[in-house]
Amino acid sequence: MYTFNLQNILIFSLLLHFVLSSTKSDYAGVLEEIFQTNKYNKKVLPQEDSDEPLEVHISFQLFGINEIDEVLEKMVTTGYLVVSWNDLGLAWDPSNHNQVENVFVPQDDVWKPDVFLQNGFKKLVELGTPSYYISVDYDGWMTWFPFEVFETRCSLDTTYFPFDEQKCNVSIVIWSHTLNEIIFVDDDDAIIFNELFQQNSVWDVISISYHIYEDSTEPKITYTIKLKRKPLYYIFNILLPVEFLGFLNGLVFVIPADTGEKMGFSMTVFLSLAVFLTSISEVLPVNSVNVSVLGVYLLLQVIIGVCVLITSALQLRLNARSTSHPVTGMYLRIVQMKSKCCGRTVKERHVQMR
Ligand SMILES: *[C@@H]1O[C@H](CO)[C@@H](O)[C@H](O)[C@H]1NC(C)=O
């Protein structure tokens, strides 16, 4: 949809040029001068001086974060690059052509840097497609807008899931040239949240920064997108239910042993916790590098559930014992331990029981 818009704008400005200043034949005259008279060769790197690398200006227009896949560790963003450089082989004198100052040529008709997404998720494919046009000004200033849905690798640190922040990189390289031939130059507006920028429902973009590498073999620029997860969904669907189940777990000690419901109750709570655990493991990132705090908490809840089950079983066994049967030493020690912290003595309790 966005490509369509962009092309519309290009076509519109193209038409505007026709109407305002010049005719079709003037426009064709420019193209003829460039490609036929001047014999423009698109294989030639438009480097003026072999000591001076060609400056390629680059900026990133971001439309939105589409998706972050925790399981595959992938970020999908939509946006386009604005890549500009100077190619004097395409310059012309507008006064010879009825003031035609700007033309559009198919991207494959002229030299352009081979720009690749370095940390892409799929096969390394050059950005831009043959259907894109490059804007050419009369002084040789070229502007190219490769639009892309960028799928990039992004290693996620989910320790504090769902209250985590992530940094994801989008690395752009020019693959076939060295830093002696081409360098990236940043513009004042190197990163732009396009006015069509759409917020993601799960992720907030906190900031974007960029870094131009000066020590790599090929020209390279990395955009770092800092994101923060909106935790509300996970609070309502995971944290609170698990919290309540943990509370219910403790409630088993309130139920009198004579009703015979103790085991059934704690078993039910334990099972629903287990069901939760499976549904959560689908939401939690598959990641063995860093263990998430939430995962540890859930494991702890399960362990507590098991302990509660064991305690209830022992309690019931004790309850069903006939009073003539002496209480064994193990139980007495447990009761002694408990009475130390809760104030009652074993003696008092024995009296009460009789
Ligand atoms: C992302 O880019 C920054 C800045 O260039 C760099 O310091 C960092 O190591 C990169 N992260 C990854 C995962 O490549």
Same domain, 65 and 155: yes
**4, part of any domain:** no
Residues 130 and 105 in one domain: yes
pLDDT attached to residue 2: 47
Is any atom of ligand 1 closer than 6 Å to the C-beta of 272?
no
- Within this chain, do residues 305 and 318 fall inside the same structural domain, yes or no? yes
Among 117, 168, 169, which residue has the most ligand 1 atoms within 8 Å of its CB, making it the best to mutate?
169
Residue 287 maps to which CATH number? 1.20.58.390
Last residue of a domain, one of 214, 230, 246: 230
Helix (H) or strand (E) holding 3: helix 2-20
340 CA to centre of ligand 1 in angstroms:
57
- Fill in the amino acid letter for 213: Y
Q: Do the domain assignments include residue 353?
A: no
* CB of 226 closer than 6 angstroms to any ligand 1 atom: no
Closest C-alpha to 173, from 216, 121, 111, 112:
216
Instruction: From first to last of the 354 residues of the chain, give the pLDDT tens digit.
Output: 445 566 666 566 655 555 555 688 888 999 999 898 888 999 999 988 888 999 999 999 899 999 998 888 899 999 999 999 999 999 999 999 988 999 999 999 999 999 999 999 888 888 888 899 999 999 999 999 999 999 999 988 888 888 999 999 999 999 999 999 999 998 777 777 777 888 899 999 998 999 999 998 999 999 999 999 999 998 998 889 989 998 998 888 898 888 878 889 989 988 988 888 887 777 766 667 778 888 888 888 889 999 999 988 888 888 888 778 777 777 788 778 877 777 655 555 555 554
- Which pLDDT value is given to residue 198? 86
Is 98 inside any structural domain?
yes
Dump the DSSP string for 139-198: TSEEEE--EEEEEEE-----TTTTS-EEEEEEEEEETT--TTTEEEEEEEEEEEEEEEEE
- Residues 145 and 208 occupy one common structural domain: yes
Domain count, the chain: 2
Q: Which two tokens stand for residue 306?
A: 């098991």
State if residue 157 touches ligand 1 by the CB under 6 angstroms criterion.
no
Helix then strand then coil, in percent of the chain rounded to 5, is 40, 30, 30
**Is residue 13 domain-resident?**
no
Check whether residue 130 and residue 26 sit in a common domain: yes
Q: Is the domain of 223 the same as that of 243?
A: no
Based on the fold, state whether residues 205 and 260 are members of the same structural domain.
no
d(CA 351, CA 354): 5
CB 155 near ligand 1, within 6 Å = yes
Q: Are 85 and 141 members of one domain? A: yes
CA of 148 from ligand 1 middle (Å) equals: 21
pLDDT of residue 1: 43
* Closest CA to ligand 1's atom 14: 169
Is the domain of 222 the same as that of 242? Answer: no
Phi (first) and psi of residue 350, to 5 degrees: -60, -40
Say if residue 266 is in the same domain as residue 225.
no
Residue 286 in any domain: the answer is: yes
CA-closest candidate to residue 172, choices 130, 219, 109: 219
What pLDDT was estimated at residue 136?
A: 95
Q: Is the CB of 211 under 6 A from ligand 1?
A: yes
- Evaluate: CB of 178 within 6 angstroms of ligand 1: no
DSSP 35: I
- Which of the listed residues 175, 202, 230 is the one where a domain comes to its end? 230
Q: Give the domain range for residue 280.
A: 233-343
Cα–Cα distance between 234 and 158 in angstroms, integer? 13
Residue with CA at minimum distance from ligand 1 atom 3:
224
Ligand 1 neighbourhood includes 321 CB (under 6 angstroms): no
